[in-house]
Amino acid sequence: MFGGVKKKVESAGNSDIETIVGKNTAIKGEISGSGNIRIDGRVEGDIAVSGSVVIGKTGEVVGNIKAANLLVSGIIRGNIEAESSLNIFASGQLFGDTKAASFSIEEGAVFRGRSEMCGKKADIGEVVDIKKSKKA
């Protein structure tokens, strides 16, 4: 049922999906945890997990997401912080700003916002002033 996405989550170095929000489910409020989560329904609120977040084709999130990896096939309206990777697949739509170490967008996907690439996990949140840098 979730074979293709599950393989992509596992290839990112994570274990199985622990929590699924079904397509007929709507949640209002914050979600936090240490495992992987898949959203096929609607979530209104922020999501913060140390694992991966998978937004299925029928999934919609209105809120900010902070996770190790984020795989988007549905819709997100909010800002993203992905410590490792952010992947927006052809059916995915992201309306918000992003910070990620790795960012890929398939042809046909929608991305409206600003993106900031961070070289590694520790770089998220750091700002470098190029004007003051003496290296050139």
Residue extents of the structural domains in the chain:
3-110
Residue 122: which residues within 8 A CB-CB, separation 6 or more?
none
Residue with tokens 């998978």: 54
Q: CA separation (Å) from 72 to 115, 119, 127?
A: 15, 21, 26
pLDDT value of position 11: 44
| Integer Cα distance of 99 and 122 in angstroms | 12
pLDDT value of position 17: 87
pLDDT value of position 13: 39
Rounded mean pLDDT for each run of 10 residues along the chain, 136 residues in total: 47 67 95 95 96 97 97 97 96 97 96 87 48 48
| Integer Cα distance of 127 and 7 in angstroms | 34
CB atoms within 10 A of CB 81: 20
